A = this chain, B = another copy of it.
């Protein structure tokens, strides 16, 4: 078992927190990426105890963000939600085994309904990260901006490229704001090698997530990710770029895929371990 493998909880979406923690540990995986919803189901205090008891590291919390609203009240609510998420990951990373990462993954959010001004939505996302920086610094949390595949630019994540994410955080301290490199989202980018190097040089790689791009494209854009090896992503090359850029953290497997979600989660975990071993672990 590669010690840097982390199972992102979304890969076994229908497992509750207790199940996700025990399946991960039983498989010999030593790290987990958590999601806010299953944590909220048991409450933060109880979740922290469960994480502590599991002996697992926490590699990130998904997810904050969704702060592109132009309506002030809606924007204030989004910032408030993000402040709670900052507290949550601070607590959970503290409860996790040594080597846990207080990383909050941020998905920018899409265009407000009827709004076609992408540049302004992007500017609001940047402003929101700035507004959260003091809270993150106070809690010792890293805000990790995740560039999302351009397929999501309209309705989910207006930050589309690694370059854009790096530009967005460049005025904030690297201890407070970084980026997520997720192969599914960035594999196609012709400037990827240069931007991963830049991200490393600027100390910004807060999280490295892996998932494959599969074809034909599944019907639901949200569930279009595949296990590593099932698609077109060159994991060896991208993983090498990330390592060469100095990333020393856990590598999260995060896959939204209906077939995986419908399968027995213990079997999914086993498949994740095997796929990771065949595509990523050799580089680590």
Residues of A near any B CB (own CB < 8 A): 111, 116-119, 122, 149-151, 153-155, 160-161, 163-164, 187-190, 213, 215-217, 219-221, 231-234
Tell me how many chains of this kind the complex includes.
Answer: 2
Would you call A221 and B232 a contact (CB within 8 A)? no
Would you call B118 and A188 a contact (CB within 8 A)? yes
> Which residue from B116, B189, B234 sits with its C-beta under 8 Å from A234?
B116
How far, in angstroms, from A155 to B155 measured CA to CA in the complex? 24
Would you call A190 and B164 a contact (CB within 8 A)? yes
Nearest Cβ on chain B to A148's Cβ, whole angstroms? 10
Nearest Cβ on chain B to A172's Cβ, whole angstroms? 19
For the residues of A in contact with B, the DSSP-based class is loop
Of chain B, the residue at the smallest CB distance from A160 is: B188
Nearest Cβ on chain B to A140's Cβ, whole angstroms? 31
> Which residue from B149, B160, B161, B215 sits with its C-beta under 8 Å from A155?
B215
Nearest Cβ on chain B to A235's Cβ, whole angstroms? 8
Would you call B118 and A234 a contact (CB within 8 A)? yes
> A116 contacts which chain B residues (CB < 8 A)?
232-234
Would you call A154 and B122 a contact (CB within 8 A)? no
> Which residue from B118, B189, B215, B216 sits with its C-beta under 8 Å from A160?
B189
How far, in angstroms, from A88 to B164 measured CA to CA in the complex? 41
A118-B234, A234-B118 given as contacts; is B219 within 8 A of A188 (CB)?
no
